[in-house]
């Protein structure tokens, strides 16, 4: 029985908070409308922006996957050259990091 009363208390508390949030949202929407801003229009624009961002992220992800496949194929065809490029990149990166560290002193 105690479990039901505990859950019931939580439900009442959540219901009260949801009602308060809805009132606040209505108040904000009214304030925005009074200032010439339509909340629904802003919501639609945000949704369109989100869709566009997701679409661009998918495109970028596919492009990165293609680039990785190309690099992977090149690395398998010429492993010595790949090792040399990676070693040179590591040395250059270490050198730049060392120079940056010295310049910070």
Query: Which range of residues forms the domain containing residue 23?
Result: 2-77
Question: What are 10-61's pLDDT values in tens digits?
Answer: 778 888 889 999 999 888 888 877 887 777 787 888 899 999 999 999 999 9
Residue 89 lies in a domain: no
On whether residue 49 sits in a domain, the answer given is: yes
Indicate the number of domains in the chain. Answer: 1
The most confident of the ranges 7-11, 78-82, 85-89 is: 85-89
Contacts with 75 (C-beta within 8 Å, 6 or more apart), sequence order: 82
Q: Is the dihedral of CA 34, 40, 46, 52 positive or negative?
A: negative
Residue 50 belongs to some domain of the structure: yes
Could you tell me the pTM of the whole model? Answer: 0.44
- Asked whether residue 35 is assigned to any structural domain, the reply reads yes
Q: Judge whether 24 lies within some domain.
A: yes
Show Cβ contacts of residue 23 under 8 Å, excluding neighbours closer than 6 positions. none
Helix 79-104 vs helix 39-77: angle between axes, to the nearest 10 degrees?
120
Residue 29 lies in a domain: yes
CB–CB of 39/28 below 8 Å?
yes
Residue with the bigger pLDDT between 5 and 21: it is 21
């Amino acid at each position: 029985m105690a479990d039901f009363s505990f859950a019931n208390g939580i439900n009442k508390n959540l219901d009260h908070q949801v009602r308060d949030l809805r009132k606040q949202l209505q108040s904000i929407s009214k304030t925005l409308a009074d200032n010439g801003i339509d909340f629904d229009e802003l919501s639609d624009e945000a949704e369109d922006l989100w869709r566009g961002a997701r679409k661009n992220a998918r495109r970028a992800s596919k492009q990165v996957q293609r680039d990785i496949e190309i690099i992977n194929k090149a690395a398998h065809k010429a492993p010595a050259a790949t090792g040399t490029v990676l070693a040179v990149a590591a040395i250059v990166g270490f050198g730049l990091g060392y120079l940056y560290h010295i310049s910070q002193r």
